[in-house]
Amino acid sequence: MFVLAHALGKQAHSLPPAERLAASLSSAGPSITLAACCEVAAFTLGGCLTGMPAVRNFSLAAAAALALDFGLQVTVFAALLVLDVRRMRAGRLDCCPCVRLGGGAAGVGEQRRQREGDVAGPHTPPAPAEAMEYGSKQPQQGDGGDEEDAAAPCTVATSSSEEGEEGEVDERSYWSLQRVLQAYFDRVHAPLLSRPVVQCGVLLLFAATLFASLAAIPYLQVGLDQAVALPRDSYLQRYYRDLLQQLRVGPPLLLVVRDLDLRPEAGQVERLCGVAGCAQDSLANRVSAAARDPASSFISASAASWLDDFMTWLSPDLPACCRTNEAGGVAASYCPPPDQPPCNGNSSACASCHTCVQAAFTGGRPSVPQFQTYLPWFLAARPSEQCAKAGVGAYSDALQRAQLDDPT
């Protein structure tokens, strides 16, 4: 809008308002169209390529708003500019166009000439200009100086820095922001950029910025902070702040293994577990190695494996975890740890409880009958201070059995 208004102010004031607008659109229209197309294309690509719903909706809405804004600028706003020029020529107020100043534009121009001492004779309407070179100060044919004087006081917003009669500059508007910017670009910026040394320096600066940006791409964090997309006074800001400070975790990562064979001769347990004696390249060890290298993965901690926790819970090294009424063999019933009821309230209630496995596992791993017998107990056991390795909270719904009576 500012570009179009500025271009309108640079046209010859002797031309009709519609022709001035046509000349303004022919000069500034291509740049406005290219800028609008680039902005719409950028937001459209951002909305189509991203997978984040908030960013996608914002980008598509911004693209539609920019396209609608461009259409309004070249239609409604352009028509309003013509009406505003007619209002100023008629000497009407901007807020109250029904109120007209005395004398109109011609009277205002006459008052200005009287203040400047130009009382040579009556005002003679200028001949209509047939052509206007874009950027020039005077029309090619016809003298439009008086017409510019008549319209200059009414076009402060768009042409306050236009030359007055006989090429003289209005002293009141000489030090306006527009004059300062034009003087800077004409006398400082443009001559400086015309020097070959400065051009090479600018080219090297942008090239260095490009390569520095390319080098910083691997260090960019993927994703958008959820707190940034919310208002500052949102009640979720405190939740995200507490989550970041006290529980810095991301979405859960689940590794599912199908058709697991627990027989020792199959060797699948060693390729999955992460306790002592397991393969170095097992699944649990590889996840732990990825968690220790944040540059190669987004895993923050080692994986919690039900297989590792079950073998630790069943191991004789933790005698308070897996307990039964019979020492060894197939257990008759399950006994909870000593710090859980009914053992913690009545010592005689669990007097006959013993450790499920008295000696080390044969071959270092539980047998298939031990899996079939003690795995349901592990999935129903509750963790406590004396036995933290229990599966009721973590793994009770994590195992899918082919048969309910066969946990393997």
Q: How far apart are CA 3 and CA 290, in angstroms?
A: 55
What residue type is 191 in one-letter code? P
Paired sense of beta strands 334-335 and 323-324, if any:
antiparallel
pTM score above 0.75: no
Rg of the chain on CA atoms, in Å: 42
DSSP 284-350: HHHHHHHHT-TTT----S----HHHHHHHHHSTT-TTTSEESSSSSS-SSEE--TTSTTTTT-GGGG
Residue-wise pLDDT tens for the chain (408 aa)? 888 888 888 888 888 888 988 988 888 888 999 999 999 999 999 888 887 787 889 999 999 999 999 999 888 998 888 888 888 888 888 788 788 886 544 444 555 555 544 444 444 444 443 333 334 444 444 344 343 343 333 433 334 334 444 334 444 444 567 788 888 988 999 999 999 999 999 999 999 999 999 999 988 877 777 778 788 888 888 888 888 777 766 777 888 888 888 888 888 988 999 888 888 899 999 999 998 888 888 888 888 899 999 999 998 888 889 988 764 444 468 888 988 888 887 777 788 888 888 877 777 788 888 888 888 899 989 998 889 888 888 888 888 776 655 545
Q: How far apart are CA 355 and CA 331, in angstroms?
A: 10
- Secondary structure class of 354 (helix, strand, coil): strand
DSSP 103-150: THHHHHHHHHHHHTT--SS---PPPPPS---TT-SS-SSS--HHHHHH
| Joined tokens for residue 65 | 């708003």
Residues with Cβ within 8 Å of 42's Cβ and at least 6 positions away in sequence, in order, are: none
Axis-axis angle for helices 17-49, 53-72 (nearest 10): 170
Q: How far apart are CA 11 and CA 144, in angstroms?
A: 11
CB atoms within 10 A of CB 3: 15
